[in-house]
Homo-oligomer: A and B are copies of this chain.
């Protein structure tokens, strides 16, 4: 059975390491810049121990998963000392495979689960699409074995496609969530409950995902109702940044639907 070490103990490692453990892989070691965080993650695992340095030369693991902030991957790839034949992967949507090119192994890959992770929220890994990239067939097979064990949806894609997907995911996830944040602030600043908007949000998302979001678009911008847009901008005038987002997104909706 494949034995795995984690470098990083953030939100992704927090969910991925136990998911691998639970399907029979052995997560042996967890390294983190902050040993307390590594310690907390090992407590979620059967056999894992905290690793204090990046010297894995005597490690029994065959796969090393870097799950750290994007800007720390390259440095870790340079510094990490690996046993022979080791496979080194990162888990980033935005970074190319080449981010690992100066590592002391020739078996390189990417293992990218497309989901938003928070430590406090349990998640079913089976439903998360996992995207695989690698620089040789053997690594590819190992990563596919790993991915299929935890996910029902495994695909091979290249670095450029993954970058496109990551940008798309920022709009679909980070920006939709930020629209909810702005909306909640507007409600609460006017003494209204954000709860009242929940049926609307759920229906919007269900409709957008089940049909086609462009066809499902509604609202004043979609209707080209400039009078309402002006009223809304007047209403938002004390928060310049939010007004500018309103103006820009509305204009883009108008332009798209004027085609």
Contacts and interface: CB of A to CB of B under 8 A. Distances in A.
Contact of A173 (B127, B182, B204, B242): B204
Interface string A195-221: 011111111110111011110111111
A58 interface: no
A180 B208 contact: yes
Contacts of A163: 231, 235
A127 B178 CA distance: 25
Given A171-B182, A178-B249, A123 B203 contact: yes
Given A69-B225, A116-B204, A245-B248, A219 B182 contact: no
- Please report whether the interface of chain A is mostly helix, strand, loop or mixed according to DSSP: helix
Given A191-B161, A235-B163, A256-B181, A200 B213 contact: no
A172 B183 contact: yes
Name which of A69, A182, A227 has the most chain B CB atoms within 10 A of its CB. Answer: A182
Contacts of A160: 190
A98 interface: no
A40 interface: no
A52 interface: no
Contact of A202 (B205, B232, B244, B249): B205
A71 interface: yes
A258 interface: no
A30 to B, nearest CB: 21
Contacts of A245: 175, 245, 248-249, 252
Contacts of A181: 208, 213-214, 217, 256
A108 B174 CA distance: 42
